[in-house]
Chains A and B, each alone.
Chain A
Amino acid sequence: MNPVLFLLLALLTLTAALTVVLHPKPVHSACALVVTLFVLSVFFVALDAQLIGVLQIVVYAGAIVVLLLFVIMLLNLQMESHAFGPGWVVAAAVGGGLMLAAVLVSQVWWAPGGAGPAVSAEFGYPKEVAQLLFTTYLLPFELTSVLLLVAIVGAVALTKKGLQ
């Protein structure tokens, strides 16, 4: 990816992420989250992870955020009177967040490798990822199906009325 394009998209991502955290209306936060997730999928494709980029849009922007918006509207959440914690908590969070970012960035900024080694044209295609998924990672892959089943049953059981 062109570095100038990267910087523009990175700016958009950070702005949208800050909107998620700072906007007092939950619906606006959710919409900003969609923007963040879409731009991240562009980065995934730029990093030769085409399948992950598509999954990002389908699973995150398509399913998870729609579920979030659905719940926000179901609970009829409007502008909040106390969206943020007390002043000292906000100050501590901003300070801590800046420090965390500084530490992480100082560690990764000097990461070697430039733009990474040359890879085959099929790198990140569904066939290649699936090959790994069905050989090396077969057991975790099968276990995720159990996890999803448990999650479905748990979600239904939790929201069922009169089940105390």
Chain B
Amino acid sequence: MTPTPISWYLTLSAMLFAIGVAGVVVRRNIIVIFMAIELMLNAVNLTFVAFARALGTMDGQVIVFFVMTVAAAEAAVGLAIIIALFRTRETTNADELATLKW
């Protein structure tokens, strides 16, 4: 039985990343946009781990460790911002939170 080639993992991660990008564009709820960003981060993590395996070094796995730390910090601060926004504006729709846009 031959093992799965690394390029298959990279292909899967490319598709996941594209789904995340499309999700950020189409969805209007900032919490779902946030989930799509997490999806993109995870796609990149899969790429890092796949390349770490392909090159036989563990540096990629250490980078994934850092990405996870940053994602956790991002989740804490991002959700705090969402709660603060909801308190003042009573909405989580990105179209109604466009004061900083133009």
Q: What is the interface of chain A, defined by CB distance below 8 A to chain B?
A: 1-3, 6, 10, 13-14, 17-18, 20-21, 26, 29-30, 33, 36-37, 40, 43-44, 46-49, 51-52, 55-56, 59-60, 63-64, 67-68, 71-72, 74-75, 77, 80, 82-85, 89-90, 92-94, 96-98, 100-101, 104-105, 107-111, 113-119, 123-124, 128-129, 132-133, 136-137, 140-141, 144, 147-148, 150-152, 154-156, 158-159, 161
Contacts and interface: CB of A to CB of B under 8 A. Distances in A.
A104 to B, nearest CB: 3
B76 interface: yes
Nearest to B31: A26
Interface of B: 1-12, 14-23, 25-29, 31-32, 34-36, 38-39, 42, 45-46, 49-50, 52-56, 58-59, 61-62, 64-66, 68-77, 79-84, 86-87, 92-93, 95
A158 B81 contact: yes
Contact of A75 (B3, B12, B86): B86
Given A71-B83, A94-B22, A108-B7, A148 B73 contact: yes
A64 B74 CA distance: 10
Q: What secondary structure prevails in chain B residues at the interface with A?
A: helix
A6 B4 CA distance: 7
Given A83-B29, A111-B54, A154-B77, A98 B18 contact: yes
Contacts of B95: 82, 85
B55 to A, nearest CB: 8
26 contacts: A1-B3, A1-B4, A20-B36, A21-B27, A29-B32, A40-B42, A48-B53, A49-B61, A52-B61, A55-B65, A64-B71, A68-B75, A71-B31, A80-B93, A82-B95, A84-B28, A93-B25, A97-B18, A100-B18, A108-B10, A113-B7, A128-B58, A148-B72, A151-B73, A151-B76, A158-B83
A84 B36 CA distance: 13
